Amino acid sequence: MIGCDCGVCRSIDPKNRRNRPCAQITTDSGKTILIDTPPELRIIAVERRMRRIDSVLFTHSHADHIYGLDDLRAFNYLQKGEIPLYGKADVLDDLKRTFQYCFVPTQAGGGKPQLSLHEVGAYQKFQMFDLEVLPLIVFHGTLPILAYKLGANAAYVTDVSRIPEETIPHLLNLDLIFLDAVRYDPHPTHFNMAGALAMVEQRKPRRTVLIHLSHDYDHSVVNTELPEGIELGFDGMVLDVSQ
């Protein structure tokens, strides 16, 4: 955190160095799907030696989830094609307004990303390459945003403080859930640790990776204290969820 001298912020453990959240999914056929474009996308893409982004799913349009959008242009160049972006209508509108220059015919050439916008509907399943994607409404404070169910048994649920009744059936019998647990103290727009643990206790996913973590968590200490099947995510974490 800017301006903080706590033990986690001064830690040399790489698992305590946290960029803003995103996830990269590689499908069985080798397609690369990104969830959100955080401000550090360029740093992440260079560090992780990313070579392709075939599409992007957006959860919502807060700065920590979209401000790396312009860095997609490096992938346009590598792939020689435009990149489709998927999200709710309000999120696509926000992208168009925030990154106005990307969506108007101004300069030609490689100076700006080549993107197309595709609206997704809540609870309307669609096929993204060889992966089935189901957008689910969750509440981020009072704001309805999207979580994504990926395939039959995994879900990415960030920036959530309440899961509505309609979404709950889709989050049962999961093998893997990525779940917001921003800090220990209650938060108006995010699950805190107690909220995330309560959700896990009720819905019983087989494996839970906590995400969107603040400097409350010293990785090596907290990770060993969590109940079985629950762990802290960390930047660069790689999971094999093939079946």
Residue placing its CB nearer to Zn ion in the complex, 6 or 241: 6
Tell me the two tokens of residue 127: 């096929």
Residues 215, 222, 223, 231: which binds Zn ion (CB under 5 A)? 215
Question: Considering the complex, what minimum distance in angstroms separates the CB of residue 83 from Zn ion?
Answer: 22
Question: Across the strands, what pairs with 131?
Answer: 128
The Cα 62–Cα 55 span in angstroms is 19
Question: Considering the complex, what minimum distance in angstroms separates the CB of residue 142 from Zn ion?
Answer: 12
SS3 category, 199: helix
Question: Considering the complex, what minimum distance in angstroms separates the CB of residue 143 from Zn ion?
Answer: 8
Ramachandran class of 201: left when φ > 0, alpha when ψ lies in -120 to 50, beta otherwise: alpha
Site pattern 41..80 for Zn ion (x: CB under 5 A): ---------------------x-x----------------
Site pattern 143..162 for Zn ion (x: CB under 5 A): ----------------x---
The Cα 47–Cα 120 span in angstroms is 31
Site pattern 76..115 for Zn ion (x: CB under 5 A): ----------------------------------------
A 10 A CB-CB count for 12 gives 6
The Cα 205–Cα 175 span in angstroms is 6
Residue placing its CB nearer to Zn ion in the complex, 22 or 174: 22
Count, residues near Zn ion per rule CB under 5 A: 8
Q: How many CA atoms lie within 13 A of 50 on its CB side?
A: 25
Which residues are at the interface with Zn ion (CB under 5 A)?
1, 4, 6, 9, 62, 64, 159, 215
